[in-house]
Amino acid sequence: MNTLSILSAADLKKTFRVSSQGHSTRSLTALDQVSLRLEAGETLGIAGESGCGKSTLAKIMAGLLAPDSGTVCYKGTPLSELGRDEGIIFRLKTQMIFQDPFSSLNPRMRIGDSISEPFKIAGMAAPQQRIELERIMASVGLSLEAANRFPDEFSGGQRQRIGIARALAASPEILIADEPVSSLDISIQAQIINILLQMKCDFTLSMMIVSHNLLILRHICDRIIIMYLGAVVESGPAAKLFSRCRHPYTEALIAAIPGLHTTAAKSELLQDDLPSALSIPSGCRFHPRCRHAVDRCRHESPTLTDYSDGHSTACHLSNSLYG
């Protein structure tokens, strides 16, 4: 593990017990041997279809959920080994932005009070709190007048601005955003993305952005990790992933982006629907949907192999398919 990474994970595994009427409890694999690193100042994107484990990964990296096994390290120290004070610092320095910011806001609390909570915890004097509140709200495009209103008086885009302001008030080093714009209109999405990009510069943040929208991730991320059924199948620099991906699943995701020039349609590249995480296919977990699958793919799981420039992929045929 790279001890210089601001946040890193090694061999994360997470399963959930699920039960349905008339069936016994079964095990759903959300994450399987996932490792990653987030460098200081970097923006890392996590992509994949719904149910691939990316939101579970975000919660574990933020310390909100414990893995079954594996380790998350903050500046090289496992979260489980952080002392009381270090743990408090980690929780303050690692802030999360949710898809639905409303659920993380107290509906009976004025948003100025919600955003100011970290100032109060830090023991900041009231006049300074007002100055900081105005500065943070202005940075996300909200006027100080809005501080006296309640969450249900705001639109979805404004609530996401409030969610970002609330996260920034803690002076974080790391921002983890789980589908921060997926519930918003296209025009509002662009505004929120621009705010996140501006925040990265103004507050020198390291960011991890979870999204099913690869085009958004290409726009804002330095590196992108592609997940499929709980495992990393490809990762690399954002530009390289688009110009020269090395995994059939990534190729299919890129082909599914409307308006992008691709040589084949998604329907030609992705066969069948996404299998259930209750029953992960043997061998390469992508093989039931892969048009290139050979016998080996059905029995032998490919390992994540490093190529040049931090590009890695898990596919037996990557060299022969992509050179």
Which residues sit at the interface with ligand SF4, rule CB under 6 A? 248, 284, 286-287, 290, 292-293, 297, 302, 315-317
DSSP assignment of 60-73: HHTTSS--SEEEEE
Number of neighbouring beta carbons within 10 Å of residue 238: 19
Minimum CB distance to ligand SF4, residue 294 (Å): 6
Distance from C-alpha of 32 to C-alpha of 49, rounded to nearest angstrom: 16
* Closest among 43, 320, 10 to 198, alpha carbons compared: 43
For β-strands 26-38 and 7-18, DSSP reports them as antiparallel
Distance from C-alpha of 285 to C-alpha of 235, rounded to nearest angstrom: 17
Minimum CB distance to ligand SF4, residue 316 (Å): 4
Nearer to ligand SF4, 115 or 290 (CB): 290
Minimum CB distance to ligand SF4, residue 147 (Å): 51
Distance from C-alpha of 28 to C-alpha of 132, rounded to nearest angstrom: 44
Minimum CB distance to ligand SF4, residue 45 (Å): 20
Quote the tokens at residue 114.
């919600």
- In the three-class reduction of DSSP (H, G, I as helix; E, B as strand; rest coil), residue 1 is classed as coil
DSSP assignment of 131-150: HHHHHHHHHTT--GGGGGS-
Minimum CB distance to ligand SF4, residue 310 (Å): 20
Nearer to ligand SF4, 37 or 316 (CB): 316
* Closest among 118, 189, 102 to 151, alpha carbons compared: 102
Minimum CB distance to ligand SF4, residue 315 (Å): 3
Quote the tokens at residue 237.
């620099």
Minimum CB distance to ligand SF4, residue 77 (Å): 36
Minimum CB distance to ligand SF4, residue 281 (Å): 9
Nearer to ligand SF4, 59 or 247 (CB): 247
Distance from C-alpha of 295 to C-alpha of 290, rounded to nearest angstrom: 12
H/E stretch holding 226 reads strand 223-228
Nearer to ligand SF4, 164 or 315 (CB): 315
Nearer to ligand SF4, 74 or 286 (CB): 286
Minimum CB distance to ligand SF4, residue 235 (Å): 15
What backbone phi and psi angles, to 5 degrees, belong to 18? -125, 145
Which residue type is seen at 32? D
Nearer to ligand SF4, 311 or 316 (CB): 316
What backbone phi and psi angles, to 5 degrees, belong to 286? -90, -5
- Tokens 């020198």 belong to 204
Nearer to ligand SF4, 217 or 290 (CB): 290
- Tokens 């892969």 belong to 290
Quote the tokens at residue 50.
């719904």
Nearer to ligand SF4, 229 or 293 (CB): 293
Nearer to ligand SF4, 90 or 286 (CB): 286
